[in-house]
Amino acid sequence: MPLKEKYKKILILGSGPIVIGQACEFDYSGTQACKALRALGIHVVLINSNPATIMTDPDIANTVYIEPLTSEIVDKILARERPDAIIPTLGGQTALNLGLELVTKGILKKHNVEMIGADEKVIRAAEDREEFRKILDRVHAKYPKSEMVRNLKHGMDVAQKIGFPIILRPNYTLGGGGGGVAYSKEEYEQMLAHALSESPTSEVLVEESILGWKEFELEVMRDSAGTFVTVCSIENLDPCGVHTGDSITIAPQQTLSERAYQDMRDEARKILDAVGLECGGANIQFAVHPDSGKRVVIEMNPRVSRSSALASKATGFPIAKIAAMLAVGFRLEEVTNDITKVTPSCYEPALDYVVTKIPRFAFEKFPGSKDLLTTQMKSVGEVMSIGRTFKESFQKAINSSESACGLEEVTFAMEKLTYPNSQRLFHLAQAMRDGKTIEEIYQLTQINPWFLHQIKDIVDAEENLQKSSGIANADQLLSLKRLGFSDKRLAHITKTSEHFIREKRHQWGVHPRYLQVDTCAGEFASSTPYFYSTYWSTASQEKFGIQDGSVMVLGSGPNRIGQGIEFDYCCVRGVKALQKQSYKVAMVNSNPETVSTDYDTSDYLFFEPLTSEYVLEIADFLKPKGVIVQLGGQTPINIAKDLSEGGLQLMGSSLNAIDLAEDRARFKEVCEALHIKVPKAGVASNITQALKIAQSVGYPLICRPSYVLGGRRMEVIETDADLHSYFERHAVVISLESPCFMDQFLEGALELDVDIVRGKDWCAIGGVIEHIEAAGVHSGDSMGVIPPQRIKNDILKQIETLCEKLAHKMEIIGHLNVQVAVKSDEIYVIEANPRCSRTVPFLAKAAKVPIVDLGVLAVIGKTAVETQPEKYSYKQLKEVCVKGVVFPFNKFTEADSILGPEMKSTGESMGRSKDYSEALLKAFISSHHRLAKQGEIFLSLREKDKDALLETIKRLSQLGYSFSATQGTAKFLYDHGIDCIPVKKVHEGRPHCVDRIRSGKVATVINTTSGRQSIDASFSIRRSCIDYRIPCITEDHAAEALLLALTKLHAGEFDVAPL
Amino acid sequence: MDSSIKGFLILEDGSSYSGEWLSGEERAGEVVFNTSHNGYEEIATDPSYFGQIMVMSAPMQGNYGVDRSFWESRQLWIEGFVALDIDKHNRAWLERLAEFGIPTLNGIDTRRLVLHLRNQGTLLGALVKAETESQAQVRAKQLIQQHKELPGDWVYTVTVKEKKVLSGAASSGPRVALIDYGTKQNIVRELLKRCSEVAVFPSRSTYEEIQSWKPDGILLSNGPGDPAKVEGTVDTVQKFLGKIPIFGICMGAQIMARALGAQTYRLKFGHHGANHPVKDLRSGHIYVTSQNHGYAIKEDSLPSDVNVSHMNLNDNTISGIECKKRRCFSVQFHPECYPGPRDAEVLFDEFMDWIRE
């Protein structure tokens, strides 16, 4: 028996809330591992603070703890569960660091628990850069010149020795947090200070620059018998200097010779052996000088990672699953290849296609942040695509990104070529159109000419097409489609419509074919239903045993702010629910980080762009019963109309029902017909109109341009001056065609999120989440609590009834999310979304209502009798659950952290307890707030919050906190008998409040403000808190919540309990 | 695409694949696929590929140019090069193919071709230039027929014509005779690292010719074609059995098996790739290996004193045999790699250990 009998119960550490650099790829790997271990009969205990994950669903692990990922909490769980071993290699850097902490604090020893997958020595070797360099020396591997710096002075000396540019890499941070490239002494000094504070050990590796070198990554595995395989090689299109998470990457590598590649592979094996990784997966990053071929090692991670998820999807080799099996004693030869079912896993996948990954960025969400790519990761998501050639794969990836339909024309800007940024591809193509040579572009970008030539081929094909008079025949169209052009892009170039191109294409019989991802380039037969499309296939389409009548589920595409892992949860859960009802399910998605794109999640997996063209082609091949567009967030909703018009049956809410929710004017009519209050509103296309509307609606009001989704460019406006400023700043997006919406802002109102499911003759409320922050903060950014704590019961009942009426009137079938505001006991409906919402997984975990399953039952037409919705009630829950929120401000050094109507958070956590304050405390801890038990709280409050927060401040004082405050606030505190140190505002001269924060004297900041001017004035306060990782509360209700949490913190001890 | 020349790959079962003819003269050969991602130059210069049209399953070819030091022999041996997307910007590889007149067909749906070969087994085929498929079919038929009439001992075509003695880097190392059935240069390099002298012998060298050089050990190299058709060597090997250590690689392994009295048979579509797991049954160690063979050793034909030492874990075929008594061992895969992982290079050390014993 390969399984070591001693492992009967194993604890897996999850990765916590989604942050930049650590996203749902760890849900994918953790879920895979849980399933694999359970299949071996092992009792799997899981801890993860992120409720949006699939791994925390009841079917995945045996026992689930949604608790903060801290050593104190794990200590309690170990005491309660008494597992035999713990695996720290599946939850990213968070789990690895936590694993190390559990060892150093003696907690594992205390409970007699073994750490498997990677031991202390391995974690230290890989994560402690000095340690790692010693190992590299031992195997004669080269690395960039560098030195570990622990203070500023030493740092300056080292810089002298190495010379600029210099790369900074803080120790023990994820996604290269706090790191970057410094080109000058001044820049270096500033960045070093920041980097030292980011590193939990205050250590920063200061390193010789390898900017412009080619970058590669090897995904490797090793078992306890020493068998070593390279699962995948990955090459970055972007040269060194851009974090690999932000780079466009392709697999397998394309520009290394056989010798150079095998040299790299040999070195990887030696490093793994020397590090002492007994078994598991790892990735090793290399840089190769473009001319000399000199190779250096950049880093290695002895765990599954973002790139291992990518590698798994790219090759069909389930790294995480196998890593888990290796950890409990299996050897690679004992694990059968899932895809071929006959060959063992101790092989190296062979690919007969090219995989491209393109990251997705969110700079537009963070005004002030520079769109620059550096060694610190900034992307929030990624897409992957598969094509037979680089060009096909690359253009499919651009399509998948949902931000462009090809290499769209831009106004060329030299700095967009020379400084890596999110728009570089388009400027690169434009430079080619504008006549720059490959050599010139290479000099400017250091992007390997191989890639440049490939891109040039695409640009040339576009130019030829432009010169010709349209597409002449099937052959010409086919050869263009083989280059990966979307119909939409071809329409743009030929000045026709997408519809026209599609019609032509169908008339000429030009369709893609679906090929299998089989790990072996066709050498062995495979039955795994994992497909990608290509126009290169000349074979007749194999049916792969697929029968007509399956259900297509559309995923949510690349993670972005506002649409992330939550929707993957909905999709995966939805797929399972459909399968329980005996449907065959085809999943379509383009995001390699997800569980939904694991080949064993659905019956058929299509790794394809989520655009109507690709989805309709899949439907043409599949002949499905219909498509479900309400599980994958806004992405499928946006293409619902095209799909429906393309002849695909929408299952659940009709196009009309969707439109009723999406079209504000129609939605307002529905509400009015039901006598439901909506905020007063108007539409203005210029400032004159706007000022008039402001008079009728009244200040404060919320402005947003009409075409914008997810709260972008949304602002609260309080005065005419603000309104003028708004129209000036957003002039480019406001016009007669796309006017500005102006809504009454319900100041101080309590907001609630309601998720409801409607079947043809039934309704079920999934739950109601009360937002902690008042109206004005985007629902995705506000903390939330279930059951509601402040809303009256009769109002809650009214809200439920109102939402049911709304769903009924709109003829929703399936999910509806309604956002409601309550002010002075009046209920207003703010908006409705005809789909699963971001809060669905949170509700499912908190209220234990299987809301996605109910939605599926509604969609497939189950009646009330069949569904029995009355069995479920979110009110039966015994615990209080608080949703915490995590922001990426530390990655965007110029951005403001003030919360507003535009969503900025990347992830969420859950705090669960019998008691509200404990749930709050856990949510704060899980959201990476460093709550201080004592010390100074700095206060700077706007006028209207002062009275409201007085009680809170008094109680904080009773808890032993001291205060400092700006003049106005200080005077207010004196007047109410509270002692405090007055400090200057920034414009009042030094030393001012920011100096005080930066000097480390302040433990917590409460800074409420409004109005554009004062927001700008207090920016540096919030910024310094981000830089020094000090909790900074920017809203009065949140301050009250913080008080509750701090009170609990002082009371000490808290409990843990499984779901 | 408009100015390009149309070309076809026609298989002996009549199936056809059309693409862009990039260079070379029309030829026929055995159509085999290789799943190595890299190493087109090493593959094309490996004499084992004599008589074969090489279909690369990896779509992007020619990407990293060429390098004379990658050559595994004195020339390109393949009868044709077929791929989906050969680099036309960096033309070095295309030029090299053209220089040797190798017919090169681009834009081929190699996936369909690989699946066809997997299902049908290895087939003969011809690469032809033609406007229409029917023209191509006629021309291909002739070429395939001519190819069938070629003499069967392909090894004899590729082997050195005269004995050649090379001095190695290890002055105290043994003297090894390398019987050249179409050896890859890297076998020679690996031997030279460990030996004082290496003599390369033509495939039909006699026992006396080799013995007169007084070798401490013999290495039987890789080579092309059907082992049963290789003439003038099984006897020679037989005479050395038990006298000095013999190590066989690929074709060498099959010749050794035949010399030991075992039989070889044709695999359905052979092993051609750089990712095959092989287990050393003696140590339990697993190598990811480079493989290129269409024939294998029949397990039930092995004499009782011969053990199976290595097994291919993909299909459980024999990947190595060992006979302590008759002082010989061999592997079906390529420990000299190129292309492929270098995990199994240690087998050359093992050979040295056998010699020292």
Q: Do A757 and A860 lie in a common domain?
A: yes
Reported as a single tens digit per residue, the pLDDT across B247-278 is: 999 999 999 999 999 999 999 888 988 999 99
Per-residue pLDDT band for A732 (boundaries 50, 70, 90) equals confident
Kindly give, in sequence order, each residue whose CB lies less than 8 Å from that of residue A977, ignoring residues fewer than 6 positions away.
none
The predicted model gives A462-469 an average pLDDT of 94
For residue A348, the chain B residues in CB contact (below 8 A) are 274-275, 288, 341
Burial A724-735 (b: 16+ CB within 10 A, else e): eebbeebeeebe
Given a cut of 80, is residue A706 above it in pLDDT? no
Same domain? For A551 and A445 the reply is no
DSSP H or E run through B116: helix B110-120
H or E element that contains A1055:
none
Tens of pLDDT, residues A681-693: 898 999 999 999 9
Question: Are A526 and A339 spatial neighbours (Cβ–Cβ below 8 Å)?
Answer: yes
| Tens of pLDDT, residues A936-958 | 999 999 998 999 999 999 999 99
Q: Clarify whether residues A477 and A590 are in a common domain.
A: no
Q: Are residues B32 and B165 in the same domain?
A: no
**Residue B273 is part of which domain span?**
155-356
A858 lies in the same domain as A984: no
B333 at A interface, C-beta within 8 A: no
Residue that terminates a domain, selected from B124, B148, B172: B148
Residues B261 and B328 in one domain: yes
**C-alpha to C-alpha distance for A151 and A16, rounded to whole angstroms:** 31
A120-148 exposure pattern, b = at least 16 Cβ within 10 A, e = fewer: eebbbbbbbbeebbebbeebebebbebbb
Q: Select the residue from A232, A250, A256, A258 to test the B interface by mutation, using most B Cβ atoms within 10 A.
A: A258
Distance CA A507, CA A491 (A): 16
Residue A231 maps to a domain: yes
- What pLDDT digit, counting tens, does each position of B134-168 carry? 999 999 999 999 999 988 899 999 999 999 999 99
In a domain, A159, yes or no: yes
**Contact check, Cβ <8 Å, B84/A515:** no
In a 3-state reduction of DSSP, which class is residue A623?
Answer: coil
Domain count, chain A: 8
Q: How many Å apart are CA A743 and CA A678, to the nearest integer? A: 9
Higher pLDDT, A237 or A526: A237
Pairing between β-strand B175-180 and β-strand B60-61 as defined by DSSP bridges = unpaired
* pLDDT tens per residue across span A340-360: 888 899 999 999 999 999 999
Q: Provide the ipTM.
A: 0.96
- Looking at the fold, whether A506 and A391 belong to one and the same domain comes out as yes
Residue A542 belongs to a domain: no
Domain boundary among the residues B113, B148, B183 is at: B148
The answer to whether the Cβ–Cβ distance between B67 and A257 falls below 8 Å is yes
pLDDT per position as a tens digit, A272-307: 999 998 899 999 999 999 999 999 999 999 999 999
Mark whether A725 and A791 lie in a shared domain: no
Secondary structure of A773-819 in HEC code, one letter for each residue: CCCCCCCCCCCEEECCCCCCHHHHHHHHHHHHHHHHHHCCCEEEEEE
Interchain contact A501–B (C-beta under 8 A): no
Residues B29, B132: one domain?
yes
Of all residues in chain A, the percent with pLDDT exceeding 90 is 80
Residues of A in contact with B279 (CB under 8 A): 333
What is the pLDDT confidence band of residue A714, given thresholds at 50, 70 and 90? confident
Question: pTM of the prediction?
Answer: 0.95
Angstrom distance (rounded) from CA A291 to CA A876? 67
Question: Where residue A102 sits, what CATH number does that domain have?
Answer: 3.40.50.20
Terminal CA-to-CA distance of chain B, rounded, Å?
A: 63
CA distance A943 to A956: 20
Q: What is the pLDDT of residues B65-79, one digit of tens each?
A: 999 999 999 999 999
Is the minimum CB–CB distance between B67 and chain A shorter than 8 Å? yes
Is there a contact between A38 and A4 (Cβ–Cβ < 8 Å)? no
Q: Are residues B137 and B211 in the same domain?
A: no
* 3-class DSSP state of B90: coil
Are A410 and A494 in the same domain?
yes
**How close B167 comes to chain A (CA, Å)?**
24
The answer to whether residue A725 sits within a structural domain is yes
**Structure confidence at residue A711 (pLDDT):** 55
| Strands (E) located in A887-927 | 907-913
Cα–chain-centroid distance for residue A693?
Answer: 38
Please check whether residues B118 and B219 belong to one and the same domain: no
pLDDT for the residue A723: 93
Distance CA A623, CA A434 (A): 45
The answer, yes or no, to whether residue B325 has pLDDT greater than 60, is: yes
B10-49 residues touching A, CB cutoff 8 A = 17, 33, 35-39, 41-42
Among residues A720, A744, A768, the one where a domain terminates is A744
Contact A116/A87 with Cβ under 8 angstroms?
A: yes
Q: Looking at the structure, do residues A391 and A483 belong to the same domain, yes or no?
A: yes
Which of B148, B175, B203 finishes a domain?
A: B148
Cβ <8 Å between B33 and A522: yes
Cα of B212 to nearest chain A Cα, Å: 38
Clarify whether residues B143 and B176 are in a common domain: no
Same domain, B105 and B174: no
Domain hosting A559: range is 547-648
Contact B286 A255 (CB under 8 A): no
| Contact state of B114 with A523 under an 8 Å Cβ cutoff | yes
pLDDT greater than 60 at residue B1: no
Same domain, B69 and B12: yes
Q: What is the pLDDT of residues B77-89, one digit of tens each?
A: 999 999 999 999 9
**What is the total count of domains within chain B?**
2
CA distance B293 to chain A (A): 14
Q: Does B285 touch chain A (CB under 8 A)?
A: yes
User: Is position A62 within any domain?
Assistant: yes
> Which 3 state secondary structure label does DSSP give A490?
helix
Residue B178 structure tokens: 């390398």
Q: What is the CATH number of the domain that holds A685?
A: 3.30.1490.20
Neighbours of A79 (CB within 10 A): 12
Q: Do B196 and B97 sit in the same domain of this protein?
A: no
* Pairwise CA distance, residues B17 & B342, whole Å: 35
Residues A500 and A415 in one domain: yes
Looking at the structure, tell me whether residues B299 and B160 fall in a common domain: yes
How far, in Å, are A90, A589, A679, A1004, B36 from residue A266 at the CA level? Answer: 25, 35, 66, 51, 17
Percent of chain B whose pLDDT exceeds 90? 96
**Does A263 contact B at CB distance below 8 Å?**
no
We report the CATH number of the domain holding residue B215 as 3.40.50.880
Can you give the pLDDT at residue A709? Answer: 53
Alpha-carbon distance A688 to nearest alpha carbon in chain B (angstroms)? 58
Region of A588 on the Ramachandran plot (φ > 0 left; ψ -120 to 50 alpha; else beta)? beta
Among B35, B36, B286, select the one facing A333 at the smallest CB separation.
B286
User: Which of B65, B85, B315 shows the shortest C-beta gap to A389?
Assistant: B85
- Residues B279, B201 within the same domain: yes
Q: Does residue A587 fall inside a structural domain?
A: yes
User: CA of A229: which chain B residue's CA is closest?
Assistant: B288
In this structure, are B160 and B94 located in the same domain?
no
| Residue A878: band (very low, low, confident or very high) from pLDDT cuts 50, 70, 90 | confident
Handedness of CA B139, B140, B145, B146 (dihedral sign): positive
Phi, psi of B286 (to 5 degrees): -115, 130
Residue A554 lies in a domain: yes
Q: B 144-183 residues with CB below 8 A of A? A: none
Is the pLDDT score of A712 beyond 90?
no
pLDDT for res A1: 46
Q: A353 and B59: CB-CB below 8 Å?
A: yes
The pLDDT tens digits of the residues spanning A826-838 come to 999 999 999 999 9
Q: Quick one: which of B301, B314, B186 has its CA closest to B254?
A: B301
Could you tell me the pLDDT band of residue B212, with boundaries at 50, 70 and 90? very high
